[in-house]
Amino acid sequence: TDPAPATNYVDVDRGKAAVRALEALGVHVEIPDLPGSGRPPLSQGMIATAESAAEDVYAGLASHVDAGRDVVVIEPSDLAMFRGDYDRLLPEESSEPLAEHSYELLEYVYGLLANGADTDGLNLADGDGETVAYHAHCQQRTMGLDEYSVAVLDACGYDVTTSDVECCGMAGSFGYKEQYYELAMDVGSNLEEQLRDADCDHVIASGTSCTDQIGDLLGEEPPHVIELLAPDGETT
């Protein structure tokens, strides 16, 4: 797996849940020591810094990719870097194999289930119509990957309501800036209304910026999809 710095140092339970879920599905997980993907500096126009980050990430993953291992990414923005932006930041012989072998976490879980893995190792719905309101990260939707989260939740017995809001209002680092806070919250008001109206047992989301924003909108930060699905237990 390729945890983003936010996962390593802030949302550590998300990363641990990812490991538990993958191991429950029979996957051996290695966590390489990597820097950030370069998404934050790229979003601010710091091309040279983003290029340096991309080179360091590829250097840390090259041996795994060459060995035929899959790279599983928790943060959708990082996968967008691997599958899109890296083709302009890295040589083609580096960017293409990395993009080909990289997967969003729930995309990968879906693939495992489609190829015979058993959902019994995951945290299944209680059988009484347990409901979920799910908001997909914008980068995830752009890549057409949000459907995999819904499919996995369905396979685990959850009744899923999805938001149709394109952006939570955070827009990467935009909503973290003091001068844009009110605007970001205003943009997010439609999402807040949809999530409250859904009145589900769980509110879940994908991506650090989305979970942070929904936490401000609802007064309680939602878990990532994998935190709902991962089996209970300790992860070292």
Two structure tokens written together for 84:
């899109």
CA distance readout (Å), 221 to 42, 83, 107: 27, 29, 23
C-alpha 70/C-alpha 65 separation (Å) is 7
Cα(77)–Cα(2) distance, rounded to whole angstroms?
12
Cα separation, 236 vs 64, whole angstroms: 22
pLDDT of 3 > 80? The answer is no
pLDDT tens digits, one per residue of 89-114: 999 999 999 999 999 999 999 999 99
Q: Rounded distance, CA 183 to CA 175, Å? A: 8
Q: What is the pTM of this model?
A: 0.90
CB atoms within 10 A of CB 156: 20
Q: How far apart are CA 55 and CA 99, in angstroms?
A: 14
C-alpha dihedral over 223, 229, 234, 236, to 10 degrees? -80
Residue 66: partners with Cβ closer than 8 Å, 6 or more residues away: 97
What is the H or E stretch that residue 196 is in?
helix 189-198
| Residue 117 pLDDT greater than 60, yes or no | yes
DSSP state of 205: E
pLDDT in tens, 24-80: 999 999 998 888 898 888 888 899 999 999 999 999 999 999 999 999 999 999 999
pLDDT of residue 141: 86
Mean pLDDT, residues 182-211 taken together: 84
Q: How confident is the model over 129-136, as a mean pLDDT? A: 91
R_g of the chain computed on alpha carbons = 17
- Quick one: pLDDT band at residue 6, thresholds 50, 70, 90? low
Given this model, what pLDDT does residue 159 score? 95
Q: pLDDT-based confidence at 234, cuts 50/70/90?
A: low
If residue 134 lies in a helix (H) or strand (E), which one and from where to where? strand 131-135
Q: What is the average pLDDT score of the chain?
A: 88
Residue 52: the pLDDT is 95
Secondary structure (DSSP) of 150-165: HHHHHHTT-EEEE---
Percent of the chain with pLDDT over 70: 90
> Stretch 166-183: mean pLDDT, rounded?
70
pLDDT grade, residue 182 (50/70/90)?
A: confident
- In angstroms, the CA 47 to CA 56 distance is 14
Between CA 25 and CA 31 the distance in angstroms is 17
- The pLDDT of residue 172 is 67
